[in-house]
Amino acid sequence: MITFSTEQAEFRRSVTRFVDAEVVPQADALDERGEFPRELVKKLGAQGWLALRYPEAYGGADADMVTYCLFAEELARGSLSVAAAAAMQSLMGTRFVYKYGSETLRAKYLVPALRGDLIATFALTEPNAGSDVANITTRADRRGDGWVLRGTKTWVTSAPVADVLTVAAKTGGGRGLGNIALFLLDRASMRGITLGKSIEKMAVRASVTGEIVLEDVEVPEAHCLGGEAGGVEKIGEILAEIRVMTAALSVGLARAAYEAALAYSRQRVAFGKPIGEHQAIGFKLADMLTALQAATLMTYQTAARLDAGRPIAREAAMAKLFASETAVRITDDAARIFASYGLAMEYPVQRYFRDARFLLPGGGTSEILRLVISRELDWDRWSAFA
């Protein structure tokens, strides 16, 4: 059973009202144009929601992970593109400057980003280094009192519009995880940061994506976040949070698809009655609802464990794995219920179907997550119900 506090329930209602009034009416048009939702990001910042997980000193609310998941779920219900942009802005793109940056950097970059005035992102993936982080080739070399960065990052969320980037780079030679550091790059003031190709996607089209090319970018020492090593460990500190958040996004998208399919099944008539009253469709809807309920329970149970300070590496992997795969199945089943109209651009179900694919690689592919889970298979060590 999931029990939300009075404050969490009221917060959810506030986000629901915002999503229904501001996000849902624009979702299809943003997707069709592949347009970054800048005004919506600013509105989310004005509400204080991009800063939910940050202290009040930076405009935040010191909110717990359950509350953050409610935000992510409701936003994804309206538009996964908008939710993906907000997730990058409120988590990966800002976390490292908050955790390891000076107060000067926080005032200059963190606070404006949490207001939505600056667009922040995180750049890790390279053309030949995705899950295999040890294989990254972007280099950071000492020069005087600072660093010079060279390399190429790809699949960078918000790359075409980003003002600030946290970039992972090697500070030493050779393959390995021990010599990776994180650097904060200012696109306006640092020369040599250019946009490579923009990546046209079939999914989350309004969450724009592209390559970032770094050519002799001079970076001050103060912009090296947390020292010249330990970057992988720093990323690992928020990996469980990323996975739980992605599970919440999955639940939100799956909810939208299920609700659309349920409504359509009650309106569409075939052989003299609504198609939802035919066993073939009724059973499909029953399976969809069951899977959605299970994914929701796993997501919020894991978020609550994180809030309680308990180890959740395996549970976060399980929640993300199950929720994202469930979102793929539910959106597919929803499109099947719509039949030919599942292909029609006039119905958002085709967008849900496409967007679900985005959830699979984020926070680790299903294959990587299964590897994480398989390393700890003992049932008696799993205390998720305690």
What is the residue-averaged pLDDT of the chain?
A: 94
- State percent of the chain over pLDDT 70: 97
Q: Which of 50, 83, 23 is nearest to 356 (CA)?
A: 83
Say how far apart CA 361 and CA 243 lie, in whole Å: 11
Q: Residue ranges of the domains in the chain?
A: 6-119, 121-230, 238-379
pLDDT of residue 381: 59
Does 174 score more than 80 pLDDT? no
Evaluate whether the domain defined by 238-379 bears CATH number 1.10.3720.10: no
Say how far apart CA 350 and CA 344 lie, in whole Å: 7
Cβ atoms of residues 113 and 93 within 8 Å: yes
Q: Which helix (H) or strand (E) holds 206?
A: none
Cβ atoms within 10 Å of 121's Cβ, excluding its own: 27
Largest CA distance in the chain: 80
Lowest-pLDDT range, 188-197, 225-234, 273-282? 225-234
Does 173 score more than 80 pLDDT? no
Cβ atoms within 10 Å of 270's Cβ, excluding its own: 11
Does 43 score more than 90 pLDDT? yes
Question: Which residue type does 377 have?
Answer: L
Phi-psi region of 94 (alpha: psi -120 to 50; beta: other; left: phi over 0): alpha
**Tell me: the pLDDT tens digits for 10-27?**
999 999 999 999 999 999
Cβ atoms of residues 212 and 365 within 8 Å: no
Does 282 score more than 60 pLDDT? yes
Take residue 60 and report the two structure tokens written for it. 């935040």
Take residue 362 and report the two structure tokens written for it. 């984020």
pLDDT of residue 179: 87
pLDDT of residue 196: 92
Take residue 94 and report the two structure tokens written for it. 């800002």
> Is residue 374 helix, strand or coil?
helix
Looking at domain 6-119, which CATH architecture does it have? Orthogonal Bundle (1.10)
**Tell me: the pLDDT tens digits for 328-386?**
999 999 999 999 999 999 999 999 999 999 999 988 999 999 999 999 887 655 555 45
pTM of the model: 0.94
- State percent of the chain over pLDDT 90: 88
**Tell me: the pLDDT tens digits for 57-67?**
999 999 999 99
Evaluate whether the domain defined by 121-230 bears CATH number 1.10.3720.10: no
